[in-house]
Chain A
Amino acid sequence: MSVSWLEPTRLLVGRVERGIGGLWSLLYAAEIATLQLALVPGLDDDLSLTDASARLGAAVDELEHLHPELPQMAVAVDMGPAALDDVTACRTAILTLIKAARDVVGEVIGDPRLTSADIRCIARAVHRLTAAHGDLTGRA
Chain B
Amino acid sequence: MSGPAHSLVTHGELMNLACRHLDAASLGLERDPLTSRLDAQNAMTAYREVVHALNGHARRVFGPEARVRTIREAARPYPEEALAVRLLDSLSRAVNVRRPVPDAVRETAVADHWLDAAKALRAATDLLSTHRAADGTWRTPDSAALDSRGVRKAGIREVAALIATAADAEPDLYRQVRVAGLRHHEVTRRLPDMGAVRDAALRLGRPAAADPGDVALLARTQVARPAIRVGDPVTDLADLLATLRLAAWQLAASERASITSLGKIAAIAIRWHATLELVGTSEPAPPPRFADALASGGSPGPGGQWRVARLQLRRLRTLGPASPAMDALTTTTWQRLVSLAPRGVHGSDLGAGDRQRLEAILLRGTEVFGEVADWNATTVQRLSNTGQLYVPARALTGDEVTDHPDLAAAKLAGRYVAARPEHLRPLLVAYAAASADVAPLRGQHSLVAATIARARPPAAGL
Chain A interface (Cβ within 8 Å of chain B)? 28, 31-32, 35-36, 38-39, 41-42, 44-48, 50-51, 53-54, 57, 61, 64-65, 68, 71-76, 78, 80, 135
Task: Provide the residues of chain B in CB contact with A32, threshold 8 Å.
Answer: 311, 314
Inter-subunit contact A78/B308 (CB<8 Å): no
When distances are taken between beta carbons in the complex, the residues of chain A under 8 Å from B271 are: 47, 50, 54
Q: List 20 A-B contacts (CB under 8 A).
A: A35-B311, A38-B307, A39-B300, A39-B308, A41-B290, A44-B290, A45-B291, A46-B343, A47-B274, A50-B267, A50-B274, A53-B267, A54-B271, A54-B334, A57-B314, A61-B263, A61-B322, A65-B321, A71-B395, A78-B395
Residue from B277, B278, B295, B343 having most chain A Cβ neighbours under 10 A: B343
Interface assignment of B397: CB less than 8 Å from any CB of chain A: yes
What are the residues of chain A within 8 A of B315 when measuring CB–CB?
78
Known contacts A50-B270, A72-B392; A41/B294 CB under 8 A: yes
- Residue B20 CB within 8 A of the other chain: no
Contact indicator B311/A39 (Cβ below 8 Å): yes
CB contacts (< 8 Å) of B263 on chain A: these are 57, 61
- Residues of B with C-beta under 8 A to A48: 343
Docked CA distance A56–B317 (Å): 17
Contacts of B416 in A (CB 8 A): 71-72
Q: Using a CB-CB cutoff of 8 Å, which residues 259-312 of chain B contact chain A?
A: 260, 263, 267, 270-271, 274, 277-278, 290-291, 294-295, 300, 304, 307-308, 310-311
A72: which of B291, B338, B414 is its contact (CB, 8 Å)? B414
Give the docked Cα–Cα distance between A75 and B392 (Å): 10
Inter-subunit contact B291/A41 (CB<8 Å): yes
User: In the bound complex, what is the Cα–Cα distance between A31 and B415 (angstroms)?
Assistant: 22
CB distance from A132 to the nearest CB of B (A): 13
How long is the Cα–Cα vector from A38 to B319 in the complex, in angstroms?
Answer: 28
Across-interface contacts of B338 in A (CB, < 8 A): 51
Instruction: Report A-chain residues with C-beta under 8 Å of the C-beta of B351.
Output: none
B37 within 8 A of A: no
Across chains A and B, which 10 residue pairs bring their CB atoms closest together, nearest first?
Answer: A41-B294, A71-B392, A76-B395, A42-B291, A35-B311, A76-B394, A41-B291, A41-B295, A47-B343, A47-B274
B405 part of interface (Cβ distance < 8 Å): no
Decide: A75 near B322, CB < 8 A? Known: A35-B311, A38-B307. Answer: no
B244 to chain A, nearest CB (A): 15
Question: Per DSSP, are chain A's interface residues mostly helix, strand or loop, or mixed?
Answer: helix
Question: When chains A and B are docked, how far (Å) is the Cα of A140 from the Cα of B290?
Answer: 25
Q: Give the residue of B295, B308, B319, B395 whose beta carbon is less than 8 angstroms from that of A42.
A: B295
Since A41-B295, A72-B414 are in contact, a sample of 6 more A-B pairs with Cβ atoms closer than 8 Å, ordered by chain A residue number, is A42-B291, A50-B267, A50-B270, A53-B267, A57-B263, A65-B322
Chain B residues numbered 324-359 whose CB sits less than 8 Å from any CB in chain A: 334, 338, 343-344
Cα distance A74–B321 when bound, in Å? 19
Given A39-B304, A51-B343, A61-B260, A72 and B394 contact (CB-CB distance below 8 Å): yes
Contacts of A54 in B (CB 8 A): 267, 271, 334
A80 to B270, CA, bound (A): 20
Q: CA–CA, A5 to B28, complex, Å?
A: 81
Q: Which chain B residue shows the least CB distance to A61? A: B260
Task: Report the separation of the CA atoms of residues A32 and B312 in the bound assembly, to the nearest whole angstrom.
Answer: 9
Q: How far is the CA of A65 from the CA of B395 in the complex (A)?
A: 18
Q: B133: shortest Cβ distance to chain A, in Å?
A: 30
| Residues in chain A near residue B307, CB distance under 8 A | 35, 38-39
Residues facing A in B367-415 (CB within 8 A) are 392, 394-395, 397, 414-415
Question: A74 contacts which chain B residues (CB < 8 A)?
Answer: 394
Q: How far is the CA of A44 from the CA of B304 in the complex (A)?
A: 11
Q: What residues of chain A lie closer than 8 Å to B334, measured between beta carbons?
A: 54
Would A31 and B314 be within 8 Å (CB), given that A50-B270, A74-B394, A75-B394 are in contact? yes
Query: CA A36 – CA B392 in complex, angstroms?
Result: 19
How distant is B401 from chain A, measured CB to nearest CB, in Å? 13
Among residues of B, the one whose C-beta sits closest to the C-beta of A40 is B294
